[in-house]
Amino acid sequence: METRSRRQGCKTAFVTVGTTQFDKLIETMCEEETLKCLSKLGFTKLILQQGNGKFDPKSGTLHGLTVEHYRFKPSIRQDIEEADLVISHAGAGSCLETLEAGRKLLVVINEGLMGNHQLELAYQLHRDGHLHYCNCSNLVATLETKNFDDLMTFVPGRSQVFADYLDKLMGFT
């Protein structure tokens, strides 16, 4: 889908932490090194969805990037669809929504939440070639070295298969 931002020729990175607190990611995104890296990769806009974190990022134009931020929106779908790259926490909702929108995805593991079963899905989607993942300390290196154009297209799940199964189980077909 040709989105508004693409037509205007600007390249957007969207960072989302869902309803979690992930200050370290927002802080890392706002570091000079990260901003310069994004700028070098051709990004012109950075949108931060900061969730329940305490860190308050600056907004405005920083190192050639327009930086915007907000805590929550009823739906982040539009921001995902208009982004060229989504940088997300490992939450299943954000990951699946991004992949279903056909967007490039980098998952940043929150090391404060290790042992969380949500990581299972992110690792599996990585094994299947749908996303790259990193942690805050190697985020810049990952952005610089990983090829996001090689990521595999994600085919959404087929709920109709379930509906057909239930019809059979219940004797409708």
Partner 1 sequence: MESTVVIIGVIAATCVAIFGVVAIVYLLFSDNCLPPQPVSRDKNLKASILAVIGSGGHTSELLRLMGHLGSHYEPRYYVMANTDVMSEEKVHKLEKDANIMYRIYKIPRSREVKQSWITTVLSTIVASVYALPLVFKLRPDIILCNGPGTCIPVCLGGLILKLFYPLKLVYVESICRVDSMSLSGQILYHFADSVIVQWPQLQKKYPKSLYMGRIV
**Tokens 């298969």 sit at which residue?**
161
Q: How many residues bind partner 1 (CB under 8 A)?
A: 26
Nearer to partner 1, 152 or 163 (CB): 163
Q: Which of residues 96-125 bind partner 1 (CB under 8 A)?
A: 96, 117-118, 120-121, 123-124
How near is the Cβ of 166 to partner 1 at its closest, in Å? 7
* 162 binding partner 1? (CB under 8 A): yes
- Residue located via tokens 């985020």: 139
Contacts of 60 (CB under 8 A, 6+ apart): 66, 67
Q: Give min distance, CB of 125 to partner 1, in A.
A: 9
Element (H, E) at 12: strand 12-16
CB of 104 to partner 1, least distance (A): 20
Tell me the angle at which helices 92-100 and 118-127 cross, rounded to the nearest 10 degrees. 30
The distance of closest approach from Cβ of residue 19 to partner 1 in the complex, given in angstroms and rounded to an integer, is 8
Its sign, for the CA torsion 77, 7, 14, 60, is negative
Kindly list the residues in this chain that would bind partner 1 in the complex (CB under 8 A).
91-93, 96, 117-118, 120-121, 123-124, 156-163, 165-172
